[in-house]
Amino acid sequence: MSRRLTKILIPVALILYLWPLFQAFSSRHKAFFALPDRAPKVSMENSSPFMRAGFIAPDMEGSRVHAGSICKLPDGRLAAVWYGGSREGAKDVGIFSAMRKPDTGASWSKPRLLVDRATASRELDRYIKKVGNAILFAGPCQRVYLIYVTVTLGGWSGSSLNVKVSEDGGDTWGRSRRLTLSPFFNISELVRNKPVFMTDGRMAVPIYHECMGHFPELLWLDATEGNHKASYRKTRMAGGNTFLQPSVVPRTPLDATAFYRCRSEKRAMGTANTTDAGASWSEPRFLALPNPDAGLDVVGLSDGSMLMAFNDTPVGRENLKLALSHDGGKTWRRIATLENSPGREFSYPYMISTPTGQIHLVYTWDRKRIKHLTFNEAWVHGQRPGGAQ
Amino acid sequence: MTYLFSFLFPFLVMMLFLWEISRLLGLRFKGITPTLGLAAASALAVATPVCGLPLGRWLISLNANFSIPLFAIVLSRITGNIFYRPLLDKRAVDTCAVFFLISGAVLYPMALGIGPFDPYGAGWRFSWLFAGVLVLTIGLLIRKNRFGMVLVFAILAYDLNVLESSNFWDYIIDPLGVVWAALRLAWPRSFGPITPKENNRGMR
C-alpha cells in the first residue's frame, strides 16, 4: 500500500463515518408512548355490560390452528390472523386471515390464505421451510402490518421475522420484507404479542429470542416510511433463559409494564417496568400468578386498570382466565373463567381494546379453532372476584 | 441494489469453486478471455433456477449477510489464483482472521444470550462500535495494512446499504468468516493467502 493511497483513504474513511454520525444525531429525539385515545367514558357500548362469543374460522377436520391475533382496521372493520395446517410446524401450514364488519352482530368472512411457505419463499427470494406465529396490527398512516415467522432450517429456534404491509386496509398486501435481527445467521427471533405505539411514529413490537438464551426484546419499527424503506432496530428487555413473549402495557407517556411468559421450573409469570418509554427495563421479577410456559396477554382499560388473559395453572393449558389489576400490575384479582376443560388446550390469548371500551380477545381453542370474545369494560367491572364462569 | 449485490458473494464463491475444479482437472486459466469465460460460467451458474430459486439465492437462504471482509478474502483468493496478485497480502489476511476471531468471541455469545448485554445493539446506529472500527481502520491504514482498506469498504457498503441488514456488525463480521478464521488458525497452509508457488501446484 503506497503512502499516497494511505493519505487518500484516511480522510475518505473519516468522511464515510460522518454519515452514520449524522443519522444518529438527526434521529435523536425523545419519544413517548402514545396512549390510546379514549371516547368519553359514558358511551352506548359501555353503558350496559355485554359479552359475546364466537369462532372466527370454521372447524376444518384434521386441521390444527394456533396463535391468533386481532386488530381493528383503519375503516373500523376487525381483522384476525392465525396459522393453520396439518400440525404445528408442518410444511403445509399457512397464515390465514378473516375480516368482520364493525357491528357486533356481523359474522367473520371466509378465511383467506395470506402467506404460506410458497408465497413467503417467492416474496423473500429464498428457501422457506415453514411459517409460524403472526401478528396483525394497524399502524400510523393507515397502514396495516403483518409480522410473521419463517424458518429455513431446523425448528422454531431457526426462526426469522418478516414484515408485510397493506396500504389499503388489509385488502391487498405488498411484498414481504425480511428483517435482520440477529448476527448469527439471523435466526431465533419470534413474535407473539401486540405492539405499542410511540409519539414519533415508531412502533415497539414485543418479540423474543429463542436459542442459547430465551429472552424478551422490543422491535422498534419506523412507520413513517413504506415497508421496504422503513428503518428498524431491536433492544433487549432482559437477558437470561427464563422469560419470553412480552406483553407490554403503557401506563403513562414514559411508564409501561411488561408481563412475561416463564419457561423456568418456577412456573410463575414475570414482570418488569420501564420509566423511560421502553429504552430500558427493570430486572424481571416473578408475579404471584402461575404460568405453564404459555402465552398471556394484558390490555390497559380506560380507568387505568389492567386486564390479563392467562392460563391459571403451572402445568397444562386446560383453563383460560381473566384477572384484573388496579395497581399497575403488582397484584391481580381473578374475575372470570373463560374456559376450563381437562384434556383440552386453550392458549395464546391476544387482546385489544378499542377507544369505545370494547375488548376483543382471540385465543386457540383446543388447537381446532380460533375463538373470539367481545365484551366491554362494564362487563369486566361487573365480574365477581374468584372468576366464576 | 441489495438484491443484485446478494448475488455477488455466491458468484465469487462459484468462481473460486470452478477455478479449483478446473485446477484439479489440470486446466489453466490465465489471461483475459479464459477468466471472462470462468466469470460468465459462474454468473450463469448462480442465476440458474434450481427448484424455483436461482442457485445463488439458495446460499442467501442460509445466510443473507456475508461480511465485506469475507468478500475481500474470497476476492483475494480469486485474484491470487488467476492473476497471481492476491488483493490481500499475508499480513492483511492474518489481521482479518484475528479481527474475525476477537469480534466473534465478543459478539456471538452475548448476542445469543450469554449475559444481559447485547453488543449487537451497538450496530444499529453510531456508537462505540463505529468509533472503535474507525480508530482501528485509521491505525491499520497508517501501518499500511491492507485490511484497513477492507474496513473502509465495509463502512462504504454500510452507507450504501448494500446488504439486507442495516446493522453495522453484519458488514464487518459473519459466522462463516469466524469459521474461516478458526480453520485458518488450525490449518494456516490450507486457508492462508495464495502465493504464486502454491498457485502453480497441480498445473500442467
- Concatenate the DSSP letters of all residues of A122-183 into one string: HHHTS---EEEEEEEEE-STT-EEEEEEEESSSSGGGEEEEEEEESSTTSS----EEE---T
H-assigned helices in chain A: 3-26, 44-47, 117-124, 377-381
Q: What's A21's DSSP letter?
A: H
**Chain A residue with minimum CA distance to B131:** A17
**Chain B residue with minimum CA distance to A236:** B118
* Reported confidence tier of residue B4, pLDDT bands at 50, 70, 90: confident
Residue with C-alpha cell 417467492?
A122
Containing domain of residue B21, as a range? Answer: 2-200
| Rounded distance between C-alpha atoms, residue A68 and residue B56, angstroms | 35
| Rounded distance between C-alpha atoms, residue B136 and residue A294, angstroms | 46
pLDDT higher than 90, residue B185: no
**Which domains does chain A show, CATH number per domain?**
32-381 (2.120.10.10)
Tally of helices (H runs) and strands (E runs) in chain A? 4, 25
**Chain A residue with minimum CA distance to B55:** A126
* CA distances, A236 to each of A60, A102, A278, A280, B91 (Å): 39, 37, 10, 8, 38
| Rounded distance between C-alpha atoms, residue A323 and residue A314, angstroms | 16
Burial of B3 (0-12, 13-18, 19+ CB in 10 A): exposed
* pLDDT of A124: 96
Touching A: B residues 37-56, CB under 8 Å? 52-53
Q: Give how far A172 is from chain B: nearest CA, Å.
A: 24
ipTM score: 0.91
| Rounded distance between C-alpha atoms, residue A119 and residue A117, angstroms | 6
Half-sphere exposure (Cβ direction) of B24: Cα atoms closer than 13 Å? 6
CB contact under 8 A, B113 and A213: yes
Burial of B27 (0-12, 13-18, 19+ CB in 10 A): middle
| Rounded distance between C-alpha atoms, residue A76 and residue A300, angstroms | 20
* CA distances, A345 to each of A161, A221, A246, B22 (Å): 26, 33, 21, 60
Q: What's A277's DSSP letter?
A: T
Per-residue pLDDT of chain A (389 residues; tens, 9 = 90+): 788 999 999 999 999 999 999 988 887 778 899 987 765 554 545 579 999 999 997 777 778 999 999 999 999 999 999 999 998 888 899 999 999 997 767 899 999 999 999 999 999 999 999 999 999 999 988 899 999 999 999 899 999 999 999 999 999 999 999 999 999 999 999 999 999 999 998 999 999 999 889 999 999 999 877 777 789 999 999 999 999 999 999 999 999 999 999 999 999 999 999 999 999 999 999 999 999 999 999 999 999 999 999 999 999 999 999 999 999 999 999 999 999 999 999 999 999 999 888 999 999 999 999 999 999 999 999 997 765 44
What's the number of domains chain B is made of?
Answer: 1
* pLDDT of A27: 76
Q: What's A198's DSSP letter?
A: B
CB contact under 8 A, B170 and A10: no
* pLDDT of B154: 98
* pLDDT of B187: 81
Instruction: Select from A143, A247, A232 the least CA-distant residue to A196.
Output: A247
Contacts of B164 in chain A (CB under 8 A): 178, 180
In one letter, which amino acid is A110? Answer: K
Q: Give the list of residues 6+ apart from residue B116 with CB closer than 8 angstroms, or none.
A: A236, A238, A239, A240
Q: Are B92 and B146 in contact (CB under 8 A)?
A: yes
Instruction: Select from A368, A377, A367, A363 the least CA-distant residue to A53.
Output: A363
Q: Give how far B199 is from chain A: nearest CA, Å.
A: 23
CB contact under 8 A, B53 and A127: yes
Instruction: Select from A378, A352, A316, A31 the least CA-distant residue to A202.
Output: A31
Phi/psi at B84 (nearest 5 deg)?
Answer: 60, 20
Across the interface, which of B127, B146, B175 has its CB nearest the CB of A184? B175
Across the interface, which of A16, A127, A188 has its CB nearest the CB of B159? A16
Instruction: Select from B23, B136, B2 the least CA-distant residue to B80.
Output: B23
Across the interface, which of B53, B124, B137 has its CB nearest the CB of A233? B124
Mutate to test the interface with A, among B50, B107, B159, B176 (most CBs of A within 10 A): B159
CB contact under 8 A, A234 and B121: yes
Instruction: Select from B62, B104, B56, B178 the least CA-distant residue to A154.
Output: B62
Q: Give how far B56 is from chain A: nearest CA, Å.
A: 9
